[in-house]
Each structure stands twice: as structure tokens, then as C-alpha cells.
A and B are shown apart, each in its own frame.
Chain A
Amino acid sequence: METIAIPTESTFTYEYRMRRLMEKKMAVTREKIDREGGMDEGDYGRHVAPADFTWRFIPNHSAGSFYGYTGWVKNFESLLASQPVYVNPYDALAGQTFFYLSKMKGSTSANSPEADAVAARVPGAASCIWNPDFNYDHLKPFHEKYNIVHGIGNDAHYACDLKMGLELGWDGILQKLERCRKEYGRDRTLFYESEIRTVQAIQMWICRTIAEIDRQLAIETDEHLIANLREMKTVNEWVVGGVARTLREACQWLAWFVLAKRTYNRCGAGGQLDELLRPYYERDIAAGRTTDAEAVFNIACLLLMDAQYYQVSGPDVDGKDMTSKVSHLILDAAELMDGPCNVTIRVHDGLDPAIFRRGVELLFKYKKGWPRFSGDKALVEGFMRAGYPASLARMRIAVGCNWMSLPGLEYTLNDLVKINLAKVFEVAWNEMLSEASNPGLEELWARFSHHLLIAVDKTADGNHFHLCHQAFNEPELVTNLLCHGPVEKGLDMTAGGAEYYNLAIDGAGIAVVADSFAALQQRVVEELKLSWREVDEYIKNNFSGVEGEYVRLMLSNSERYGQSTGNRGERWAVRVSREFSQHVRNQNKRYPEYDFIPGLFSWANTIQFGQAVGATPNGRRAYEPINHGANPLPGFRSDSAVTAMVNAIAAVQPGYGNTAPVQLELDPGIADSPDAIGKIQALIQTIFDEGCTLLNINLIDEDRILEAHEDPSRFPDLVVRVTGFTSYFAMLSPQFRQLIVDRILSKRHV
């Protein structure tokens, strides 16, 4: 029989409580793997509903799903009223998500085996069950042809102004809605009614959770837990309507908003967390209401509940560093929590050296891929180049996988729209070999550029189509509430409510394209080792046979992107990046109401994009993954030199304020010497001095990752930064785990 130790005053510490919470977290993770088969997405903290729980969505369309304001608000109300509620007596905060409504449109009921069949393994899938009343068949051939992740029907991926929510409270938001509704009379009735019902549904959810606290209070016998539950109840009874007054109330209020938008449509964008919480912390400390230890615990509970993307430090609108005591407390909280965490430190010239150093120390101490680091200089310069002032550029903070956002101001489709550059290359290649009597390098380039333009044009057309109709598909009922514009105008963020429409279009697979051009230039044009037709034959046969393998190796051994500054591979990569960026920026002429911003990122689509493309002239076999983000392909240099890779990624930055992140896999052993942390700080600083925008670092030694890949269950707490998101390694599919293993082992390639 299990013996449960009753905590005493000396053992009921914040550390003890966090250990109990993490035990629960690990159990939930295990449950997700066992019952759902894991997920190739970030670890969002979501719990698994009991096996006997069922919920049926309410369709409002003959096609069988739900759409628009009516469909979404009705189902959101129903889900929040029905789904389990969660209270853990060790926690500072109440509440948790169990479902993402956006992933439930294709099933008749939650928790059914069919429910997540589409969603379960395909990153980002199933939120694109589009309203069939709006047809984009005219675009589909291009999506197919160029393997475009078009983003139509996708959601969230921009930041709210969380400060607004803290200052209004839920009742304040309701009052604002009522006030604005009166101004617009009948015109925007559906919008306002839906928004009011959304807020009320959230408040009811909080009330249901308070009832659960009561239920637990009725049966709890431990005095510490009783005391905590009473405090939790008091906090929640206040924040269900009132404005947060204390740090704990602020954390709880943020938690509810985070959980609401996560439940609605998986939204993971946080905010500048240190500045959000600082006023509450300072007031609490001045009034003697809290201690640093308690503050750290409250924040840790917020981080544990949901791995939202938060930024700390960085410049304010005037360029002054925002690092405060709370910035350090947030790192303390992440340390106390010691789980998946998406905190980013914004590195700029005035950054507090202590927090920079502490961030690097924690990265090496815990080896869980946090914190990340963003490069202020290139981000600000880039956004200014897109036509915005420095003050606005500084406000654009790291709140996503690879992206920045202006809190509450900007609608972006960040990380949702991608063009598979390798596929575009393949289209151009096949066309040239079938049509041109004299294939050539510039001939190929011209066709590539031509098809790339078409792909970008059609992608922009898709963005416009999305914005024209998305409100009738999936309005942003939750995030509308904390943006500047939707409530005031009565318009959804997608339908004119936003201040800025800075639409992100990312290119993926740049290394495949650049290396292919470089290999053709070197082996076909300059060295005359192969003819164009010979290359085509070998790639059509997927380099089969001994001779095929020989040719594949020859092509693969050509100069590559990342190998050396200014070599053929890099020159082609820069050319591709500039061409792509120009095509994207030129969409502003076609759609002056939007601002299109290019980036280079693949998110978790590296495998899927590769599966759409046959063998390529860089020696890549058919259907193998493309390169990750803007990173060179594994094996780009025999020593996989970090500085060479960074120089390459710096060279291809699109330069308009969106990112082309650097993904680094480092051996933890490099931090063993006494001055190592300082050297790594210098490395990070140089990465940003060189012009890079975002840096993700994994620290795992090769032996450990290989053991974990063989049997992930032996390493349940191994956390990796996959692309921009973190996940428990054990939760990932074998394919995805292989991707990470390949990245970490790439320095073995010779």
C-alpha cells in the first residue's frame, strides 16, 4: 500500500509543492502518450479528459461542422460548460485545458478515436476545416503544385495586449462590449452578442471551477491544502469579474485568458511578462503582501500551466532596457518549474548583463532549450526597413515559435503560411528538362523565379481570400477581446478589426535549393562532370545503384550553403532569399491594404515538405526531409562549425523584421570550463551582431539522445526544442525524434 507522507510546515514548501505539480505533469504527459499516441507539437500543458467523457459539437451547417460567429460561440459555450474542470490543491492557480475546439470540427464527438485522427500526428492540421460556402478551388491547383501551406482557415498566431485585460477584468471587458455595441446599433449585433457570450462562457467556466474548489474543500483534510484552496477560491471569486489587484490575482487572470484562448484555438502567444507583472509585484512587496519566494512560485505555476511564449527584458519604446527584478524572478520561476518553457530574452545593446549571463547559465544547467534569445538589432532594423518607426519595432516582441508580434495591434498569419521552395525548384527543373532544348543554369534560375513568383502570388491571393471570409469560418472571438480595434469597431481581427495586417509568408527548404544550384553550377557547368540530362536521369531514378550512389555523393560533396562564406552554396542561398523576399514584398503593390513580410522557416513541416519532393540535384534522396528553417542541411561541413552556420544564416536573413532563426545543437560539455559561460554569451552576442534574429539552442549529448530515441520511456523528462517550440522528447513521433537525432548527430557526418 502506498504511504502518503503528510506535509508538515517545514516540508510544505514551494519546492515541495512544485515537485507534486511536476509529478502530475509527468503523469499527464505519460497519459497523452499512452492514450493519444503523442503529438508532434509543443507541450501546451493540456490535460487528458477522462476516458468516459464525451462531448458532441453542435453543427450549424449542412456540411456537418460549425462555422462563423454563431457556430463558434455556441460550441465554445457548450464545451466550456461541459468539459472537466481542474483544480490541484498544491497549485497557486486553478484551471486547465482539455481540448482545442479548433481541432474538433471534424469529429462528431470529443474523445472518440476519430476525433484526433487527422489532428493527432500532422502538425497544425484540422483547424483548416473550411466553411464550404466559400470556395477556393481556383487556388488549390497551385497549392498542390507548389506544396504551399496556404494558411486559409488558420487561426491565432498574433499577440493580444494582455495588459488591457489585466486593467479591465472580465466585467470591464463586458462593459466595454456593451458600450461599443450601443454605438453601432444593429450593424454589428452578431459580433457583439457573440463576444459577450464568449466572455460570459469564460466566466461560467471560472464559476464551475470555483465549485470544484468548494467540492475539494469539503473533503480535504490537510490544513496546508485547505488553506491554499481557500486562497485559490478567494482569488478566483474576485477575478471572475474584478480587476486584478495582486500578483497572484494577475497570474490567475492571465491564466484564465491563456486557457480560454488555448481552448478556443490553440493560441500560444503570451507577452512581455516581466512588464505585465511588475506593477503587481512592486505593490505587493511594498504592502508586505508577498515575498520573492511566493512570487516565484505563483509565476512558476503560470508557466507550468501552459507553455505560452513570453519575452523578458529587451528595450522599451525609447530603447531603455526593461530588465527588472521581475525579469529575474521569471527566470527563477522557470528554474523552479524545470519543465517545457518558452521564455525568450531579447538581446540588445543595453541588456542587463546579469540577466544575459543568468539566462545562459540556466540554459546549460537545465538543458531544456530555454531560454531562447532574440536579436533586437536585426529585428528592429528589419521592421524599420519595412516602413515602421523604431518605437513600434521595439514593441514587436517574441511571442511565437519563430515570430514576433505587436501586442493587440497586428494580424499576421505568422508561421501559418509557407512555400516549399524545394518543390518550386522541382517544378522549374522538370519544366526545363521537358521543354528546353538547351538547359542551363540561368535558364533554370529564370524558371525557378517565375514559378516562385506564381507561388507567392497565389499565396498572397490565398491570404486575401482568408481575410475576406475567415470571420464566417472562424472568428477570433477570444483574442478579439484584447486587441485594439475589434471591440471598438465591431469587427473581427480578420475582417478589419486590426490596426496592421502584416502578413507573414515563409519560405522553407532554402538549403535544398541553394545546394542544388551550387552542385549544378560546379559539376555540370564548370567541371563538366555530368550533363543536365544525366543529372535528371539519376534523380528520376532516385540515385539507385552503385553509379547512382556515386553521382549522388559527387553532387552532395559539391560546395554547400553553410560551408564557407561566399562560396557557391551561400551565393545561391542569398540569391534565393533575396528573390523570395522581393516577390513577397511586391505583393504590397497587388494588395496595398496589407504588408507582406518574408521569413525563412519550416516549423514542424520539415518532414512533410520533404515527402512532397523527389530527389534533388544536391544529392538529396527522394522524399527525405528538407533543411530545418534557415539552417544548412546536416553534413554541410565535416566539422559542422557553428560559426560557419551562423555566418550563412545571417547572410540569408530576409531583413524585414520577421525571422530566419538559428537552430543550434550544442554539446553540453562545452560549458565545463570556468570561463565557458562568458564565451557562450559572447557567441550569442556575435550571432546577433552578425544580423541574426532568433536563436534556439538544444543541449543534449549524442549518447543520451540515441538512448532516448531507442526507448523514450526511459527519459520521460527529456525536453527538446524541436523548432521554436519545446516538447517532451517522448511525446514526439519516431519520425520527428529521428529529425532531431539527425540534427544533433550531424557533426558526425564526414
Chain B
Amino acid sequence: MTPTSAIEPDRKTATPHKLTELPKAPTGISGLDEVTGGGLPRGRPTLVCGPAGCGKTLLAMEFLVRGITQYQEPGVFVAFEETTEDLVANVASLGFDLRKFEAEGQLVLEHINVASGDIEDTGDWDLDGLFIRLGAALDTSGAKRIVIDTIETLFGGFTNTATLRSELQRLFGWLKSRGVTAVITAERGDGTLTRHGIEEYVSDCVIVLDHRVTEQTSTRRLRILKYRGSLHGTNEYPFLIGENGVSVLPITSPGLRHSVSANRVSTGVARLDSMLGGGGYYQGSTVLVSGTAGTGKSTLAAQFCHAACSRGERAMFFAFEESEAEILRNMASVGVDLRPWVDQGLLKFQCFRPNLLGLEGHLFSMQKWLTEFDPAVIVKDPVSDLLRIGSPADVSAMLSRQVDFLKAKGVTALFTSLNSGADSVVSAEQITSLVDTWLEVKTLEGNGELNRVLYVLKSRGMAHSNQIREFLLTDQGIELADVYVGPQGVLTGSARQAQEAQEDADGALRREDLEQRQSNLERRRETVEAQAAALWREFDDEADVVKRLLNVGSDRVEDRAGQRAEQGRLRRADTDEAGDLAHNGAS
């Protein structure tokens, strides 16, 4: 008697070569297909249960709508609780135009009113009326998917629950035989999954939704309790109902398979770029700037945005502590004028307290904004504020999902983190393993003053400087100065200036000394040259005298020889004696 029709053909034909894998019907719901390993079991019923207001109806409706819009699978929505008018109105806010799908023949909305209580039970009955209605709805639309929301309402309409239960069991068997992928919703019972134990009949896949409030922030969670014949994520996954429907956020990311870029993005501080091996951060990397209060983290972040906008790129600034006006004013005071970028639409601020949204809402909204604005760089200032709305483990899980998202999009992100007091490294440890570059800004106390220093704690894949730099906030933005390392340790601030002055003074002294020596030498050279000149003059004089004397001497010898020759001639001496005479003359 039961209206039956042929089992969906692809259920049997699709399996032969892949016996191990269960055919699945993708839900199209963001994240849910990842968690379920591809979707809900095709051609079988899935139970979605949870307390009132946890989003069962919306999840189920989106399953149908995505089936129509993305997978060409028409659907039937059987509503036991809401009228079709209410349904249409309720999901219109998600952008689902049910009336349009109805008009196109892709969707059948079937409201079934279960009259309460006073139906007299006069004997044997079955639910063939329901079967016929469902069968007709499935046939008219050629539906591959069906949602029954919420079937337990039937328990209010019938007093003979034994018959009802056996009929429900028959219903699920019938749905299977029709080969439609069904989603059955049910209210959570007291200590049981569902109020009337429906889970006994729907055993292929059970999804539990939950709605918890912790620290005044509500979080929706989804868990795959059971998925017969399939691997599935076993965690509780946060999910959201946003403007575009349900989003399940798998905590474990699908895998680290981002494409990476070797391009560098300037930090906005030239000296810092060179500290990072020249060029700045890697494009698409995640940077953490940690530090205690008032160390200039936000300024570093603002300058990073400033640099990006100067290159004509879009930047998005998420601020959890200051308003846009405050940031603009404060940054202008240190010479970082962001207003032109805001006016040009290159820079966008999103300023809100983190507890406005909750962790999941936060992640979701950010992803939405990022998708809409499509910035090249983003800043979150500070991520440590998120710890107010979740445990460190939750925050780090959320951030890791966010980092994955950013990396997949190639967005360079700068997170600042406020360290509380002395345990600077410990408090950030949940985050630091996620980031590629970690800069630490801290204050050093000495000589009665606090001075900021910056150093690179880690920077994956670049030859970064190991030097500490003094971090100065000037009227022209951030400047990094070398610090002096002396016997007393690192010198900053006035001590550095004193050291600088001291070295200047020492230098001047040395210079004077040198000049003195140089002029002394010059004078000495002049003296030496003068003395040398005098000596030469003496020498020349002597040489002249000697020369003269020599000339005089030779004249005399010639004279004497002449005289002797004269005398000899006069005495008639023979010429032989001449040699003798010459000899004598020479002696």
C-alpha cells in the first residue's frame, strides 16, 4: 500500500569501482562539507538535533537551497512547526528567495499542521496520508533532497505513540527506498539526543547542534556525533549564522598548502627593512609585534599601513582599543598621516570591542570584510584583546584558522600583542608559533628613564639582524638607532647620547692632537730646511775659498819656474839641468 518508487538509480550504479566510499551529497554549507568529508550520506536520512533556537531549521533550509543553487538538486521542505509564509520571511534575511525557487518548480514548501490533542483514536491507523503528501511533493519537484522539520511535533498530535513510532520507522525506511537525501530535525530531550528518541530510527548520520553562552558570549557549535561508514571530524566546531547563511569553522585547517611568495613588503621603516635582510616582510606572511604597553606597537602597525597605501595597495586596520578618529589623531602626532589614505579609500578601519562579536563571530566577520575589501595588508591591534572573549587555546585556534585564511589569500598581516608585564614571551606563546616574523618591542629602564628597543625574535626564511635597535618615536615617525654596547651593557636614551657626546669629545681631542703634531712636524721641517740651507751656504763659501786658493797656488808655481828658467838662461846652465830644475821647482 505504501507509495513506492524506484530507488534512485545512481545510488546503485555509482558504487562499483569505489566500494569503500559512501556516496555523499555535498551540503554546500561553508565548512560542513570539510567536516563531514564531502557531505551528508546520499540517499539516506540524517538527523540534526539540538535545543530550541540552535539553528536547526536554517541549517536544514540552507542544505536545500544550496542543493538547488549549486548542485541542481531540487528539494522539499516539510514544515511541521512554521507556516510557509513564516519560513519564507525567516530565511529572506539570508538572501534565500524561496518563492522564486517555488515558482521555478525546484522547491516545494509543505506545511503540515498537526492538530493538537483532541483527535479521537478509534482504532487501527497508519501515516499513509503523510506518506502520500511527501510522495506527491517529491514527485512534483523531482526532489533529490528533503527536510522534515521537526518531525517530533507528530507526538503532540497522536495519543497512540506505539503506532506512531512504528510509522516513523517505516517513514525513514520509505525515505531511504525513495533514495532522497533527507535531513530530519529534532529537539534535544532531557538527557537524550532527541525528546522522543528519534535517533533510534535515523542511524546513518547524526549531527548535534548546540548553543552555549560562556562569559556572556554565545557560541553555536556543531558536532558530528555519528556518521556510519564514513570518516568525519570528531571535534565540536563553532558555527555561525551570518548574512550569507551557516558557516561551520573547522578548527583543524584543511592543510598547509598555501602558495608562497618571495616578494617583500616594506615594514614602513627603512631601517627595519634592512634589519630583516633588506626589503621587509615576506608578502603573505604573518607578523607579530609584541611588547608591553606604550612601546609603539600601534605606531609600527600604522606605519606599515602607511607604507602599503603609499604603494597604492589597500590596507585594513582592525582596532580593538581605539576608535578611527583616535588612531588618526595619535598617528598624525608622530608624523604618520593616515587621513589621506582613508579619504582615498585605500585604508579602512574596523574598530570594535572584541566582545561585541565573540570569537567565531569575529573570525566570520573578518573573513567577510576581507573578502569584500580585498586588502593587501591587514593589521590587528591587538590580538591579545581576544583573550578576553576566549581561552588562550580557543584564541590560538581561531587565529590559526584566520592565518590560514590570510595566507591562502596572500594577505600580509601584522598582529600586535600586548604583553602583560615581565612574562613577555610566555603570554604570547600561543600565537608565536603561528607567525612568520616576530618583532619584540620593549622598554629598557636605566639612568632614570625608559627607552624603547626593538629586536627581531624570529623571522622565517630571511637572514635577519640579531642586533637590538633603539626605537625612537619622532615627528617623522619611527626611527631606529644603533644602541651602544659597553661595559655597562646596552646603552639607550640619554646614556647613549652621553656616550655619543663622549666619543665625539674623544674624537675632537684626538683630532686636535694630530693637528698639533702635524704643525709641529711642519715647523720642524722648516727648521731643518733652514739649517740645511745655512750649512749649504757655509759649504759653498768654503768651496769658493778653496777654489780661489788653488788658482792662486798654480800661478805662483808657474812664476817660479819662469824665474828659474830666466836665472838659468842668465847663468847659461845647460838644458839637462832643466829637468833637475823642474824637479826642484816642484818640491
Q: Do A and B bind each other?
A: no
**A interface residues (Cβ-Cβ under 8 A, vs B):** none
**B interface residues (Cβ-Cβ under 8 A, vs A):** none
